[in-house]
Amino acid sequence: MELNAQNGQYEIQGLNVLDIVKTHGSPLYLYDGDKMEQQYNRLKNAFDGINLKVKYACKSLTNLSVLKLFKKLGSDIDTVSIQEVQLALLAGFTPDQIIFTPNCVSFEEIQEAVELGVMINIDNISILEQFGNHYGSSVPCCIRVNPHIMAGGNSKISVGHIGSKFGISVFQMPHVRKVVENHNIKVVGLHMHSGSDILDSQVFLQAANVLFEATEGFDDLEFIDLGSGFKVAYKEGDVTTNIEEVGKVLGDAFKSFCKSYGRELELWFEPGKYLVSESGLLLVETNVIKHGLAAVFVGVDAGQNHLIRPMMYDAYHHIVNISNPKGKERIYDVVGYICETDTFGHNRKLNEVHEGDILAIKNAGAYGFMMSNNYNSRLRAAEVLIYKGEARLIRKRETMDDIVRNQVDFFESETVQQ
């Protein structure tokens, strides 16, 4: 989103953002598809010369139009539930383009995914044993390794440490090898993911080296999957992961590993936030300006039901008053309309805000709509995608019919009898 110096309006791909809100209402999720494409191409270019596969981590944003956009760009897809597998298939991905990395699911869900023909990524020994009992070497699989590395911008998004529920401990690999051998399991990939918002290329390299060492005894490998974790900018001047540096450091290490392994493997990454976070805005309307004793509150027509990341992760999302780009700057607390403490931003400097002004909450493309809910019986927002200069509605706003659709009235028969 850029401010057009000539007309003083915020635009995306030349389209006036305020006009889009007038057309589709608020709150509204608005995505810049061209930005998604730029991020995808930057990652691909950073690993030039490597047999790279990008698997879009669709849990960050599963709208079918977004999935189809990444398919159009040449991406494969990473899924974590059987429902995401089904959505990926609906979007046109073929089973061989889909990796399924669930956590703590029943074996029945694993079997359903096997029937659909996707790559199964197994992250605990119990499931690995059941998998071997059922399929032996007839169905290849991947194994998720926990590297025991504390990495990431927040403890809740660090998933590769010793206390994490994700993956099989790297120290349990001798046991894993015995299970694989005893059940004649064909392991074609090893996977790890240590966390999100990682800045240092050396952290990626440290984790990669752990995984390279874990390949001992696995002779049928076709790929190494290093997950993701690239940090994006949340505010002006924010430090981000240098993708080109990561590409150089990891690319060289991977080439060296392949040489020692004896043949060239594929290198997989599963970016989600990196691809879609910066593309997204949550556009909200100001309901009220409330002067408290300790703060001036800007109360908007959204809340933690629409964007829970600030409340759940203490995540920073930059906020802009797009209705008054030249107004005098003042300090506000931007808060939601949910009957909980749902502060989007504390002590934020904004151009003076009036009731009816539209605010843009940035970096809302990843885990924004996807983590939204119906708390307080509020409705989920609509979604609009802009791609190649054209804005289209890609999800309708919910209605009260959506809220009550699956409810069954316990007292309906009683009312009929009366």
Is residue 339 annotated as part of the catalytic site, yes or no? yes
Chain centre to alpha carbon of residue 94 = 21
Q: How far is the CA of 393 from the CAs of 143, 280, 357, in angstroms?
A: 39, 14, 22
Long-range contacts of residues 206-212, Cβ cutoff 8 Å, at least 24 apart: 206/147, 206/149, 207/147, 207/149, 207/151, 207/160, 208/250, 208/253, 208/254, 208/257, 209/253, 210/145, 210/147, 210/148, 210/149, 210/170, 211/145, 211/147, 212/253, 212/257
**What sign results for the dihedral spanned by CA atoms 278, 64, 313, 335?**
positive
The SS3 call for residue 109 is helix
The SS3 call for residue 401 is helix
**Does the annotation list 29 as a binding residue?**
no
Spatial distance between the Cα atoms of 246 and 50, rounded to a whole number of angstroms: 13
**Does the annotation list 31 as a binding residue?**
no
Q: Where are the alpha helices (DSSP H) in 123-242?
A: 125-135, 173-183, 201-214
HSE-CB at 267 with a 13 A cutoff on CA atoms is 25
Please state whether beta strands 343-351 and 390-395 pair in parallel, antiparallel, or not at all (unpaired). unpaired
Chain centre to alpha carbon of residue 87 = 15
DSSP state of 388: T
**Which residues sit opposite 306 in a β-bridge?**
none
**Does the annotation list 10 as a binding residue?**
no
**Does the annotation list 337 as a binding residue?**
no
Spatial distance between the Cα atoms of 342 and 256, rounded to a whole number of angstroms: 49
CB of 211 within 8 A of CB of 145?
A: yes
**What sign results for the dihedral spanned by CA atoms 353, 358, 362, 368?**
positive
Of 58, 104, 142, 339, the catalytic one is: 339
**What sign results for the dihedral spanned by CA atoms 121, 201, 73, 38?**
positive
Amino acid (one-letter) located at 125: I
Q: What would the two tokens of residue 399 be?
A: 């209605």
The SS3 call for residue 18 is helix
**Does the annotation list 84 as a binding residue?**
no
Task: Detail the residues annotated as belonging to a binding site for substrate.
Answer: 309, 313, 340, 367
Catalytic residue positions?
339
Task: Detail the residues annotated as belonging to a binding site for pyridoxal 5'-phosphate.
Answer: 229, 367
Task: Detail the residues annotated as belonging to a binding site.
Answer: 229, 309, 313, 340, 367
